Structure 1
Amino acid sequence: MSDHTLKAGPACVSEPVYHCLSQTNARLEVQTELTNGTSAAIWDRDDIDLTHYQHPGHHTLSCYLDGGHDIRRVDQRRSLSGRGPGRICLMPCDHESSWDVYGRIRFMHLYFSEQHLKSLAGRIQDKGSDNLQLQDLTFIDDSWIRSLCQQVIMPMNWQDNADRLALSSASDMLMVHLLKHYCSDYRIRQDVKGGLSPWVQRRVLEFIEISLDQPLSLQQLASIAELSEYHFARMFKVSFGMSPHQYVTERRLNLAARLLTEKTFSLAEIALQSGFSSQSHFSKRFKDFYRVSPAAYRKAH
């Protein structure tokens, strides 16, 4: 144990790290909610304290900015010293830790949820994201994270809307870095022939299926895949052998054919339920595709 007298800090069981720090003498310099659903904060502590975190329910990335030479992480097996500015800590959502705080330390925190990490992994590639497991890291030296935090994120005006958009992008970059280097069940997989990843394919196709009775634009579908319209259209065609418009039209016609066999709805109702602007437009498209009119198709089935 250290020779300074510890003040018993809060035992934060299942409380967010942010709330736990708020119960100490730590001073919050700035905090912001980011557009990508994460949040960030800069804290300054000059204290003698013992702080406990237990199952905070979110992931926390910490970058030391100033001080921190005398802080220690302690548990029954080990005691690790802080080593000063630039050191990185990663605290997963289910972790437990105790921190012997002694003297001044200034640090930046990035808070992000397990769901956000899984979503980000899925957007990059098809992945069994339920098995993702971030490593519990203490006082590591990662020059890439350090440089991004100190040289890119810190100079930004966190209250400016434009800078907050840039900060959101930077936080995504940090999380991708964590996935690649500090996630025990994450492997980089190459895109198949430049097409959409299987995870994105499923997401787009599921949206199309539940929206066939509604107008569907290329912009909508591209936004679901989080791609530009140009890149989405190109990658969709590589994946499915046809353009998004052709695919949606075929799915509308397949739905219409099924409704015709049920003999429950009028042709005008089927046209609307299948997403066509009018009965005449529906009839023309149906005959072009099936080589028979909707009425004749219904009679034959």
Structure 2
Amino acid sequence: MPEEKILTVDFAHQDACSEILPRSPLLSSYHASWKGFRLDHHQQPAHETPEHSSQQHIIAISLQNNVTKAERVLDGRFQYENIINGDVAVIPANTHHISRWQSEGKFLLITLEPAFFTRAILESGDFQDVDLIPHFARPDLLIQQIGLALKSELESDGMGSLIYIESLATTLCIHLLRHYCAFSETSAKLSKDKGLSRTKLRQAISYIHENLEKELSLVEIADVVGMSMYHFSRLFKQSIGFAPHQYVLNCRIEKAKKLLSRTEITIEQICQQVGFHNQSHFTNVFRKLIGITPKAYREKVSQ
């Protein structure tokens, strides 16, 4: 008898989830401007997926409050699983996979394009012969936090900072490299550079301050100093103690504080001048960092 063909799923397509799951995702980043990775939030009934493989790496993150009994066949290996909140399964691209669970399941799926993942690895150091290894469900607090942070950004109606979203995806790739990959002993270790040169740091900071009103991306800032996204992000934090997205956010709020205290322009206009998509998002971030709303801050400094 001819060998049964395994279903191949391509998450670059909008309806890819429907090939293996009975319900559409509750939330998806498919239409967001995220490049190289995708997030889907699911609530699915008890189900058994067909045997399949994906063209992307899949990171499945459980959001279950109660224990869910499940079974998984991963790369030809079988395992019973008692899945709880925060458990993470890693299914590399082109790995044969079957999953069945006995009650309603709530989970996130992060799909990474292999090229995106490989680029993050190469940019982090001179690694060779690195392979992402299949892993059955197990707790991983950092991946859970990254997944929830991406979900939160997506729920902000696309108003989240692209540079922050890119930073989360890069952090995920490096975490996978360190804890879910096999590589040869001759692979180089992560660079131990102490930070950016004064020239490159000055270039990056100047570019950020000159473009605060724009949607800055990590790739864009890194290009200014002629570095890879990951390498720049790590060295920038080593130089000033803040990740690039944190520094950009702080700069935007500091500029907003000056405009609130020294000008009569409206809060809505200030919001646009410091790079926020809407006044609600601006107000929430301002309150989080300063402790009061922009309106209250303006009233306080004008007394």
Q: Give the TM-score category using the shorter length.
A: 0.5 to 0.7
Change (3 A) 1:52 1:101: farther
| SS in structure 1 at match of 2:59 | strand
Change (3 A) 1:50 1:15: closer
After TM superposition, give the deviation of residue 224 of structure 1 in Å: 4.6
Q: Quick one: which of 6, 13, 16 aligns to 2:10?
A: 16
Determine the structure 2 residue equivalent to 1:101.
101
- Read off the aligned partner of 1:119 and give its amino acid letter: R
| SS in structure 2 at match of 1:173 | helix
Determine the structure 1 residue equivalent to 2:120.
120
Partners of 1:89 and 1:180 lie apart in 2 by 16
Partners of 1:219 and 1:112 lie apart in 2 by 21
Determine the structure 1 residue equivalent to 2:225.
222
Change (3 A) 1:132 1:159: farther
Partners of 2:167 and 2:42 lie apart in 1 by 21
Partners of 1:48 and 1:219 lie apart in 2 by 44
Greater Rg by CA: 1
Alpha-carbon displacement from aligned partner over 1:206-257 (angstroms, at most 9, x marks no partner): xxxxxxxxxxxx98562454449x97xx9xxxxxxxxxxxxxxxxxxxxxxx
Consecutive unaligned residues in structure 1, runs of 5 or more:
1-10, 197-217, 235-301
Determine the structure 2 residue equivalent to 1:84.
84
Change (3 A) 1:74 1:168: same
Change (3 A) 1:26 1:68: farther
- Read off the aligned partner of 1:14 and give its amino acid letter: T
Task: Give the TM-score normalised by the residue count of structure 2.
Answer: 0.55
Partners of 1:134 and 1:46 lie apart in 2 by 29
Change (3 A) 1:123 1:219: closer
Change (3 A) 1:27 1:195: closer
Determine the structure 2 residue equivalent to 1:110.
110
| Equivalent runs, 1:238-257 vs 2, <5 Å | none
- Read off the aligned partner of 2:8 and give its amino acid letter: S
Whether the aligned pair in 2 keeps the contact of 1:180 and 1:187 (CA below 8 Å) is: no
Partners of 2:222 and 2:140 lie apart in 1 by 38
After TM superposition, give the deviation of residue 77 of structure 1 in Å: 4.9
How many residues matched?
Answer: 196
| Equivalent runs, 1:63-212 vs 2, <5 Å | 63-66=61-64, 69-74=68-73, 77-128=77-128, 131-150=129-148, 152-156=149-153, 157=155, 159-185=157-183, 188-191=189-192
| SS in structure 2 at match of 1:78 | strand
| SS in structure 2 at match of 1:51 | coil
Change (3 A) 1:30 1:163: farther
**1:27 aligns to 2:28 (yes or no):** no
Change (3 A) 1:34 1:169: farther
Determine the structure 2 residue equivalent to 1:299.
none
Determine the structure 2 residue equivalent to 1:51.
50
Alpha-carbon displacement from aligned partner over 1:62-90 (angstroms, at most 9, x marks no partner): 10112560222137653322422211010
Whether the aligned pair in 2 keeps the contact of 1:68 and 1:105 (CA below 8 Å) is: no
After TM superposition, give the deviation of residue 52 of structure 1 in Å: 2.1
Partners of 2:77 and 2:134 lie apart in 1 by 15
User: Percent sequence identity over matched residues?
Assistant: 13
Task: Give the TM-score normalised by the residue count of structure 1.
Answer: 0.55
| SS in structure 1 at match of 2:174 | helix
